[in-house]
Amino acid sequence: MKNNKLLPILGGVLGVAAILVFFLTRGVPGNTPAAEKLPLLQAAQKAIPGLDSMTDYDGDEFFDIVGVSPAEYTEFLYRTGENEKGLVAREALIVRARDADAAKRVLEVFNHYHAQRETETRSYAPDIYQMLEKSSVSLKNNTVALLISENSAAETAAFLAGE
Amino acid sequence: MKRLTALLLCLTLLCAVPLCAGATQEEEEEETLAFSIPAAIERLPDETLMGFFTDSVFVGDSISQRFRTYTKDRRVEEPGFLSNAKFLVTQSYLLFVASKNYVSKVSSNLTYQGQEMSLCMIMGKMKPKRVFILLGVNDYIGEKLDKAEEYVTRTVSLIHKYSPDTQIYFQSLTPVTRTFCKRKDYRTMWDQYNVLLKGLSETNDFTYIEIAQGLKDDEGYLPEALAMDKEYHLNNAGVEIWVSELLDFAQSQYEQGLWAPKV
């Protein structure tokens, strides 16, 4: 008799435990577990056409040119591409920040950089300025991205889908 | 007596021969020295000359931005290309803005580590060994020669104030295409600015580097084969000539004893 009462209780406890284990290993729906993320370069190559032909910059240059300190991120990518006149036009700035606070700081730096590029090109290179107007900084989880291109919105969406 | 005299004469003659030979040899040696050409100073390999640009910064506008892209791409295969030289470039940067010790509220500024700053302040932070400046195109400086002297001398003065040990080099403006000169003869104006710049280098504390001559055709224009935009932005072939001119300059500094490569 006692066993008959205990079995449903035991089954309920096991069921709850199973659900807990499921979510602990899979994460909250909508978040991509860190273990499933591709390395940043691979993820960017899948989403950004022509990335491999763009000029690559190291961490020191990224800090000097854009202003993001290596202390803020675990991975970064900074590449530029020229237009037919030899001017830097396309740019890919991506950071996987160390934490949420770092991501907020990087977001601010990227927005500042975007504004500076608009000032630089507004009169001098109207075609690049137009591209900048179509581009904006995006944040998902702790990944911050600024993709300056003719197809910025699509490339950004494609890239952030995996973040 | 006669035999003795003859013997003495023979001995004298025998002694005189080596003395004469020695004198002749000395004369020959003197002749050789008089006509000898001093050994020419050897041309250093390009890889060695690139050491001249260690701890240097190139400052400029979109023309130098092209140079930066070219350098970055070369460094993929040749990490020592132009040593560890850095670039401070902004597409529409003005010589006028470079001559100020504050940031412009209307024109584009240089940025360093995310902050807009004046050139002299950045020099104060970076303290490079050498700074190579190429500016003036966006100012249309050839049309403002009266202002050019003020901008150049003030830029030099400010850099020295913020970074006294930095050696300053102003590069000549690179030439423009015939297409760019359809409206006005910018070719002549650019040349006049370069003459002014060279003259200023003789009375101010900076060095002038001539990089334009190798880029010109017989009429003084930039050939369109060296331009990306049919105006003045150099393509890779044009930048290669620019680099060649800089290496020649480094060689001249070596020959004048003003620089020596690190052993």
Same structural domain for residues A72 and A113? yes
pLDDT for B32: 46
Contacts for B166 with CB less than 8 Å, ≥ 6 apart: B123, B127, B128, B129, B130, B131, B159, B160
Tens digit of pLDDT for each residue in A81-111?
999 999 999 999 999 999 999 999 999 999 9
CATH class entry, domain B48-254: alpha beta
Which has the closest alpha carbon to A147: A83, A42, A77? A77
pLDDT for B31: 45
Domain coverage including residue A67: 33-160
Same structural domain for residues A45 and A11? no
- Chain A residues bordering chain B (beta-carbon distance below 8 Å): 55-57, 61, 63-68, 80, 82, 84-88, 109, 112-113, 116, 119-121, 123-125
Strands A143-148 and A88-97: antiparallel
DSSP helix/strand/coil, A90:
strand
Chain B residue numbers with beta carbons less than 8 Å from the beta carbon of A123 are: 92
Hey, are the CB atoms on A120 and B113 less than 8 Å from each other? no
Same structural domain for residues A8 and A87? no
**In angstroms, rounded to a whole number, what is the distance separating the alpha carbons of residues B175 and B169?**
18
**Chain A nearest-CA residue for B93:** A120
What crossing angle do the helices spanning A126-134 and A152-160 adopt, rounded to 10°? 40
Same structural domain for residues A38 and A72? yes
Tens digit of each residue's pLDDT, chain B (263 residues): 667 776 777 676 665 555 555 545 555 444 444 455 556 789 999 999 999 999 999 999 999 999 999 999 999 999 999 999 999 999 999 999 999 999 999 899 999 999 999 999 999 999 999 999 999 999 999 999 999 999 999 999 999 999 999 999 999 999 999 999 998 999 999 999 999 999 999 999 999 999 999 999 999 999 999 999 989 999 999 999 999 999 999 999 999 999 999 87
**Chain A nearest-CA residue for B126:** A64
Same structural domain for residues A118 and A58? yes
Sequence letter at residue A161: A
Domains: count for chain A: 2
Instruction: Give residue limits of the domains in chain B.
Output: 48-254
Task: Label residue A121 by pLDDT band (50, 70, 90).
Answer: very high
Same structural domain for residues A37 and A18? no
Same structural domain for residues A69 and A137? yes
Same structural domain for residues A85 and A39? yes
